[in-house]
């Protein structure tokens, strides 16, 4: 009987090829989209963690409220003590201070007159300590395009785009004009030793990277930092653990609201609660469910219709089979068996093709830099797909299920056929 059914499937293309192609393309798109959306989300999360918030982030309460403004006058003080406590309490995270600041970068000519100027967004990180966690988190050496990474105090890197705009060459002097933590004017000379490109439009437009100690000195922030970030040693965001770390910290540093220093008490947030990422991730999650759902529903409807069309086209065949003495349930089960076979083959082939495309885009990525040129989101120019264990089953199981349920629904008509009408039906 199996050979009989297989022969029917192989010889009757409309019984096999059309449903097979439907399942194939439906599953391919589902697999690819899941991997692509997953890759994009992972990229955003990873970039946000590396370049902005870490996996957890310590700030003063006042700073946290105005974090987008980079209010260094509200920065943390007593950072060394805080860091010692954090490293002791939560050694599974790398802890490092950062200062985000704004300013004007002035490039003098040979007569020390201004040749070019531009506003910059600066990031001060620990570039010089031999055991700096930033070697793992930010790793500026990988991002250097021209010149080299700073190796001594007074050296900075500027974004390649900014360098091109201001015609800065490695070795040039640059003056940072900013304000100190206490509101005084700050003018500090640095040597630009290299240019860098992180591959993220929002980071590359006007970025300056300096060592945290240099900026502490320049902005009069002794033992201060805008924030302390914590980054899981395996580089992966563990939400439950991050929540636990933050809850423990916030309990230890719970401030009395009426205290005059309450605004400067440290508070810890997690990656998900920073930068509106929570809403974004929820939105993307919902969006990916909708996208995959739409494909599955569309596939189910098409296959259901294919099943109905097939049942009509095979009306005579099914009638003969019933007349000859095949039980209705047996006919129904053979239709299900045919669809199961088509579902499994189509879904397997679709999954394989989807994985191939996804793997290709995981390795090579897709450059969206030109589309994102005005974006302030921390999304890399090269977005890569990301294949996870879920990618292997997200198309396969629903593909088989959609094929089976489409046939199951359309095949119910068999039970409605009256054998007493078979002679009439088969002779019309």
Partner 1 sequence: MQDLPLVVTHALDKTYALGQTTLKALDGIDLAISRGEFVGLVGPSGSGKTTLLNIIGALDVPTSGSAEILGRSVETLTHREAARLRNEHLGFIFQTFNLLPVYTVFENVEFPLLLQGIETGRRKQMVEEALAWVGLADRADSRPSQLSGGQSQRVAIARAIVKKPDVVLADEPTANLDAANSHHIMKTMLQLNRDLHTTFVFATHDEKVIGYLHRTITLVDGRIARDEHAGDSSHS
Where along the sequence are the contacts to partner 1 (CB under 8 A)? 1, 4, 7-8, 11-12, 15, 316-317, 319-330, 419-420, 422-424, 426-427
Q: How far is the CB of 310 from partner 1 (least distance, A)?
A: 12
Question: Nearer to partner 1 by C-beta: 14 or 189?
Answer: 14
Question: Nearer to partner 1 by C-beta: 115 or 321?
Answer: 321
Question: Nearer to partner 1 by C-beta: 182 or 423?
Answer: 423
SS (H, E, C) the chain: CHHHHHHHHHHCHHHHHHHHHHHHHHHHHHHHHHHHHHHHHHHHHHHHHHHHHCCEEEEEHHHHHCHHHCCHHHCEECHHHHHHHHHHHCCCEEEEEEEEEEEEEEEECCCCCEEEEEEEEEEEECCCCCCCCHHHHCCHHHHEEEECCCCCCCEEEEEHHHHHHHCCCCCCEEEEEEECCCCCEEEEEEEEEEEECCCEHHHHCCEEEEEHHHHHHHCCCCCEECEEEEEECCCCCCHHHHHHHHHHHHHHCCCCCCCCCHHHCEEEEEHHHCCCHHHHHHHHHHHHHHHHHHHHHHHHHHHHHHHHHHHHHCHHHHHHHHHHCCCHHHHHHHHHHHHHHHHHHHHHHHHHHHHHHHHHHHHCCEECCCCCCCCCCCCECEECCCCCHHHHHHCHHHHHHHHHHHHHHHCCHHHHCCHHHHHHHHCC
Q: How far is the CB of 327 from partner 1 (least distance, A)?
A: 4
Question: Nearer to partner 1 by C-beta: 146 or 314?
Answer: 314
Q: How far is the CB of 419 from partner 1 (least distance, A)?
A: 4
Question: Nearer to partner 1 by C-beta: 39 or 319?
Answer: 319
Question: Nearer to partner 1 by C-beta: 109 or 427?
Answer: 427
Question: Nearer to partner 1 by C-beta: 37 or 322?
Answer: 322
Question: Nearer to partner 1 by C-beta: 97 or 319?
Answer: 319
Q: How far is the CB of 331 from partner 1 (least distance, A)?
A: 10
Q: How far is the CB of 6 from partner 1 (least distance, A)?
A: 11
Q: How far is the CB of 328 from partner 1 (least distance, A)?
A: 6
């Amino acid at each position: 009987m199996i050979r009989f059914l297989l022969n029917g499937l192989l010889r009757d293309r409309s019984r096999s090829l059309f449903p097979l192609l439907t399942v194939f393309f439906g599953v391919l798109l589902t697999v690819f989209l899941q991997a692509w959306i997953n890759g994009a989300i992972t990229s955003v999360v990873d970039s946000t963690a590396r370049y902005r918030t870490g996996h957890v982030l310590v700030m003063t309460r006042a700073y946290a409220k105005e974090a987008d403004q980079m209010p260094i006058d509200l920065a943390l003080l007593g950072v060394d003590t805080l860091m010692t406590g954090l490293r002791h309490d939560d050694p599974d995270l790398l802890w490092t201070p950062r200062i985000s600041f704004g300013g004007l970068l002035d490039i003098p000519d040979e007569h020390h007159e201004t040749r070019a100027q531009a506003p910059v967004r600066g990031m001060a990180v620990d570039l010089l300590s031999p055991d700096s966690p930033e070697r793992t988190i930010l790793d500026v050496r990988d991002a250097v395009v021209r010149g080299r990474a700073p190796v001594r105090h007074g050296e900075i890197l500027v974004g390649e785009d900014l360098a091109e705009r201001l015609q800065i060459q490695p070795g040039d002097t640059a003056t940072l004009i900013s304000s100190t933590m206490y509101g005084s004017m700050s003018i500090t000379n640095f040597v630009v030793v290299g240019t860098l490109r992180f591959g993220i439009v929002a980071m590359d437009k006007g970025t300056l990277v300096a060592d945290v100690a240099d900026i502490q000195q320049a902005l009069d922030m002794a033992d201060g930092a805008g924030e302390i970030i914590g980054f899981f040693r395996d580089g992966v965001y563990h939400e439950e653990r991050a929540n636990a770390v933050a809850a423990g910290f916030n309990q230890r540093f719970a401030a009395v609201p009426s205290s005059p220093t309450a605004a400067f008490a440290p508070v810890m947030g997690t990656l998900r609660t920073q930068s509106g990422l929570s809403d974004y991730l929820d939105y993307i999650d919902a969006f990916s469910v909708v996208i995959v759902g739409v494909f599955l529903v569309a596939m189910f409807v098409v296959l259901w219709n294919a099943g109905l069309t097939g049942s009509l086209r095979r009306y005579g065949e099914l009638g003969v089979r019933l007349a000859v003495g095949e039980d209705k349930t047996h006919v129904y089960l053979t239709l299900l068996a045919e669809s199961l076979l088509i579902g499994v083959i189509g879904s397997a082939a679709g999954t394989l093709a989807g994985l191939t495309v996804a793997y290709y885009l995981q390795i090579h990525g897709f450059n969206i830099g030109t589309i994102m040129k005005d974006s302030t989101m921390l999304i890399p120019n090269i977005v890569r797909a990301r294949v996870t264990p879920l990618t292997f089953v997200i198309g396969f199981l629903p593909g088989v299920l959609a094929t089976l349920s489409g046939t199951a629904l359309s095949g119910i008509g068999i039970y409605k056929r009256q054998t007493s009408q078979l002679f009439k039906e088969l002779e019309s």
